[in-house]
Structure 1
Amino acid sequence: MPTYPNMQLKNGLKAYKEDKPEFGHGMLKYYALDPSYINLNNGSYGTTPRPVTEAVHALSERIEANPDLFHRIEFKPLLDEARQRVADLIGAKRDEVVFVANASMGVNTVLRNFEWEEGDIIFEFRTTYGSISRTVQYLHDRPPHPTASTINVLFPTTHAEIIEVFKKHVKANPALPNKKRVAVIDSIVSNPGVTLPWKELVKICKEEGIFSVIDAAHSIGQEVGVNLKESDPDFWISNCHKWLSAKRSCAALYVPERNQHIIKASIPTSHAYISPKDRKGPNFVEQFDWNGTIDYASYITVTDALEFREWMGGEERLNKYCHDLAIQGGQVLAEIFGTRVMDPNGDLTLNMVNVELPLPKDLPATVATISGLHRRLFAKKAFSAPFFHNGAWWTRCSAQVWNEISDFEELGKRWLEVCADVKKDFDQSK
């Protein structure tokens, strides 16, 4: 286990007292990554830094020393501190933010708390994350069968075109009398890894009387300058374990005070649940503080993750490095592949870049195909996420503070080998 310069133990948690580190391969000592593995897929599951893992272990030891004391008394101020730190980062009040297991759980909590009626409409995008899209379908499938309405957006495109498509779609699907409309909007799409103009779409929702549910799974820790007081979505959910460096799994669920009456019950339902007929006001936070025994370490050590990021130089510094590397790395990969980047101007790119793979366009886009690509790339000790979109195969590469341009170069070589093998097998199968 490496040592961390000038680190001190403070209240059982790690604090970092050294100058800002240089980004690149020198940062690998702060992560548990296999040194022979090229990881350009932080966006899927996150990558916990060693200091945060150590903080989790230290907290776990404290919990196990007296589980009753911790779970009955000590956890609450630590949880409140972590919620405050996240609230400060995203421009919210502490009691508008709670933790849930992941973004899918957060979006499900919101959508399943609406009192659906026949004639209500749930808008989703063609690129909505799979489990969320399936949630919308599930809600449509069960009584009272709200309408599921899909907005067709394909990439490459522009923010201006997305805004126009969204406007036209909601105008073409007006609310029926006394019925509601709810829009599920990605802030950053999972695949392709591109930003949506979510703040502008929230404004349109307000003008149209539509509830906005922002699936911001990739935002916190990647999208700098989030201020929910200003953008004012109706709901916003983001994973802290993807880009914020927290231990998986942990997500922030933001519900402004004006909408907390909508969230009648946590999932699972908490002992703090109060029937609406007896409730004097929302008890949003209380329900999520305790809705069954869980390991609170991932939630509480969000504080340590934020301290680690501050030690690295803060959100703007580290995200500038990752963004610049993603832009440069995408161009390098496209040259190696002889293909293109999805977003050549970089307008929709933060720290994830999408590059077309040199694979046959008629290669079946099946689970078996994608699983096969995964296995072949894993065998070469590298990974970036492959996916099929708009008639072509792509890979989404996540740039992180431990990466350098040489990682993209080496990944490109390994992908070329995989693609050549896949193409050979595919041609022989015809």
Structure 2
Amino acid sequence: MEEAKDPRNGGDSSPNQVSKKPRTSGLITEQEIHEEFSHHNLNVARINNGSFGSCPGSVLAAQKNWQLQFLQQPDDFYFNTLRKGILHSRTVIKTLINADDVDEISLVDNATTAAAIVLQQIGRAFAEGKFAKNDTVFMLHCAYEAVKKSIQAYVTRAGGSVIEVQLPFPVNSNEEIIAEFRRGLGKGKANGRKIRLAIIDHITAMPCVVIPVKELVKICREEGVEQVFVDAAHAIGSVDINVKEIGADFYVSNLHKWFFCPPSVSFLYCKKASLGFDVHHPVVSHEYGNGLPIESAWVGTRDYSSQLVVPAALEFVNRFEDGIHGIMKRNHEEVVKMGKMLAESWRTNLGSPPEMCAGMIMVGLPSRLRVSSEDDASRLRSHLRECHGVEVPIHYQGLRDGEEGVKDKDGVITAYARISHQIYNKFEDYCRFAELFIQSEKLVVNIGAALIK
């Protein structure tokens, strides 16, 4: 059934009542921001917005209203409200990311679901003999672990191979990334292999770096890569997105990370020219075969409220000066300022120049913490949470052969904190973290000793 003719879409589904433009008067105050996030645990320095995001109270109230509408009369909600509401959300996203057509936008639970959609069709092509056994999927070494597991589940089991390109970290410039990417593509095409899919992060998760995604997609096209999937889990709400300029076949971003939606909801953009690929939602319902946006809009009885509050999230960001662009600018400037403060306090370094970060930045931890494995990094994160009320991810940076690494006065820096800044954060959140490693040598040694017990 064509979406425009489906009676479940209701009447006019255009989002005219929710403007993309921010307000010019009656802007949100700092007190109102505090009230919007008053449900947060005030005893925790929450400097990890990147993992799960944050949803303001006004959007949570809108979500509750959608949930009540369903519970009051679920049949009417299904036949007369749900599809129309989801189409409304998709239309808002279409405008935000400069897509050509709302049919290019599907709403799914998260970026992991979107990766499964893209990788399942690649796996089917290998299994059905459409791709040769030595053809490959190409990705960055720091791709999200769930994406790597999806490749293992859908591609390598079907006979495909995988090439990972090692990106430098700490990183100094886009040119370093582009050079390594070109070298990796050359390796991927060796011995006549075809690269059937390239997976490129827009903002890598750990360590976090903003990738020159438009340039890398262009290189893929020049080198004959068949499909390009951009995993932009952290992008919407933290960097500008123009999917037509980026030029990828598939692009996913989580709306619950930096766009203030409740967990969990993401959009998957499929370029219209790429809709001929055999893409389907991994949960098969009676909408199978009606196109990915329709398949994704109904995967059985469940709570769809997080997908329906996208217009409410846009209303929230429009209460800020310059809307989402003002928020992005504020978060970028503040996280750079806080990152520099921490690095100066600890006499360490930043993992990238400021122009290669958005709302997150990597800060080197003192080498005397003696973090020597991913397990150590995990234990340090738990220790900071449980003993000091600081929530921040820790990255272990081991040395590759021939590398000297970045050093502080005591040795090689092997661990980095990924700090985030969102509008609810206060200067005191970062001071609490800073003081843990500067108030006394004894405290640092004690924390380091706790890691290696």
Relative to the length of structure 2, the TM-score reads 0.84
Deviations 1:122-149 (CA, angstroms, capped at 9, x unpaired): 11111111111222233344132x1110
Match of 1:148 among 134, 153, 162: 162
Pairwise CA distance, 1:266: 1.0
- The answer to whether the aligner puts 1:199 opposite 2:208 as a matched pair is no
Deviations 1:271-292 (CA, angstroms, capped at 9, x unpaired): 2223xxxxxxx72322222122
Structure 2 distance, partners of 1:33, 1:39, is: 9
What secondary structure sits across from 1:218 in the alignment? coil
- The answer to whether the aligner puts 1:53 opposite 2:60 as a matched pair is yes
Structure 2 distance, partners of 1:198, 1:368, is: 32
Structure 2 distance, partners of 1:78, 1:107, is: 24
Residue identity in the other structure for 2:85: L
Larger deviation: 389-398 or 415-424? 415-424
Flag the 1:416–1:373 CA change in 2: closer, same or farther, 3 A. Answer: farther
Instruction: Assess if the C-alpha contact under 8 Å between 1:78 and 1:300 holds in 2.
Output: yes
| Equivalent in the alignment of 2:406 | none
| Equivalent in the alignment of 1:421 | 446
Structure 2 distance, partners of 1:135, 1:416, is: 42
Deviations 1:141-189 (CA, angstroms, capped at 9, x unpaired): 4132x11101011212221011111112212322776944211110000
Flag the 1:426–1:53 CA change in 2: closer, same or farther, 3 A. Answer: closer
Structure 2 distance, partners of 1:201, 1:27, is: 38
Residue identity in the other structure for 1:303: P
- The answer to whether the aligner puts 1:230 opposite 2:245 as a matched pair is yes
Residue identity in the other structure for 2:36: Y
Residue identity in the other structure for 2:137: I
| Equivalent in the alignment of 2:318 | 310
| Equivalent in the alignment of 1:79 | 86
| Equivalent in the alignment of 1:247 | 262
Structure 1 distance, partners of 2:291, 2:154, is: 25
Pairwise CA distance, 1:376: 3.4
Larger deviation: 173-182 or 328-337? 173-182
Structure 1 distance, partners of 2:235, 2:389, is: 28
What secondary structure sits across from 1:217 in the alignment? coil
What secondary structure sits across from 2:318 in the alignment? helix
Match of 1:291 among 296, 299, 312: 299
What secondary structure sits across from 1:241 in the alignment? helix
**Which consecutive unaligned segments of at least 5 residues does structure 2 have?**
1-16, 400-413
| Equivalent in the alignment of 1:30 | 36
Larger deviation: 61-70 or 388-397? 388-397
Flag the 1:80–1:163 CA change in 2: closer, same or farther, 3 A. Answer: same
Structure 2 distance, partners of 1:178, 1:185, is: 19
| Equivalent in the alignment of 2:111 | 103
- The answer to whether the aligner puts 1:396 opposite 2:418 as a matched pair is yes
| Equivalent in the alignment of 2:135 | 120
Pairwise CA distance, 1:61: 0.9
Structure 1 distance, partners of 2:279, 2:394, is: 39
Residue identity in the other structure for 1:234: D
Pairwise CA distance, 1:366: 3.4
What secondary structure sits across from 2:245 in the alignment? helix
Moved over 6 A (4+): 13-18, 175-178
- The answer to whether the aligner puts 1:332 opposite 2:341 as a matched pair is yes
- The answer to whether the aligner puts 1:212 opposite 2:228 as a matched pair is yes
Structure 2 distance, partners of 1:91, 1:175, is: 36
Of all paired residues, the percent bearing the same amino acid is: 25
Residue identity in the other structure for 2:245: E
Flag the 1:371–1:302 CA change in 2: closer, same or farther, 3 A. Answer: farther
| Equivalent in the alignment of 1:6 | none
Match of 1:19 among 20, 26, 35: 26
Instruction: Assess if the C-alpha contact under 8 Å between 1:154 and 1:390 holds in 2.
Output: no
Structure 2 distance, partners of 1:127, 1:72, is: 43
What secondary structure sits across from 2:415 in the alignment? strand
Residue identity in the other structure for 1:153: L
Instruction: Assess if the C-alpha contact under 8 Å between 1:236 and 1:254 holds in 2.
Output: yes
Larger deviation: 411-420 or 114-123? 411-420
- Report how many residues are paired: 406
Flag the 1:60–1:365 CA change in 2: closer, same or farther, 3 A. Answer: same
Residue identity in the other structure for 2:235: S
Pairwise CA distance, 1:421: 2.5
Structure 2 distance, partners of 1:64, 1:14, is: 25
Deviations 1:339-364 (CA, angstroms, capped at 9, x unpaired): 11112x31211110110112447533
Pairwise CA distance, 1:310: 0.8
Instruction: Assess if the C-alpha contact under 8 Å between 1:182 and 1:212 holds in 2.
Output: yes
Residue identity in the other structure for 2:373: A
Residue identity in the other structure for 2:448: K
Residue identity in the other structure for 1:113: Q
Pairwise CA distance, 1:22: 4.3
Instruction: Assess if the C-alpha contact under 8 Å between 1:377 and 1:415 holds in 2.
Output: no
- The answer to whether the aligner puts 1:190 opposite 2:196 as a matched pair is no
Instruction: Assess if the C-alpha contact under 8 Å between 2:374 and 2:395 holds in 1.
Output: no
What secondary structure sits across from 2:257 in the alignment? coil
| Equivalent in the alignment of 1:365 | 373
Larger deviation: 331-340 or 82-91? 331-340
What secondary structure sits across from 2:168 in the alignment? coil
What secondary structure sits across from 1:73 in the alignment? helix
Residue identity in the other structure for 2:139: E
Larger deviation: 179-188 or 99-108? 179-188
Structure 2 distance, partners of 1:241, 1:287, is: 21
Flag the 1:137–1:191 CA change in 2: closer, same or farther, 3 A. Answer: same
Structure 1 distance, partners of 2:437, 2:120, is: 41
Deviations 1:360-380 (CA, angstroms, capped at 9, x unpaired): 475332346504532433432
Flag the 1:258–1:165 CA change in 2: closer, same or farther, 3 A. Answer: same
**Which consecutive unaligned segments of at least 5 residues does structure 1 have?**
1-12, 275-281
Structure 1 distance, partners of 2:377, 2:333, is: 32
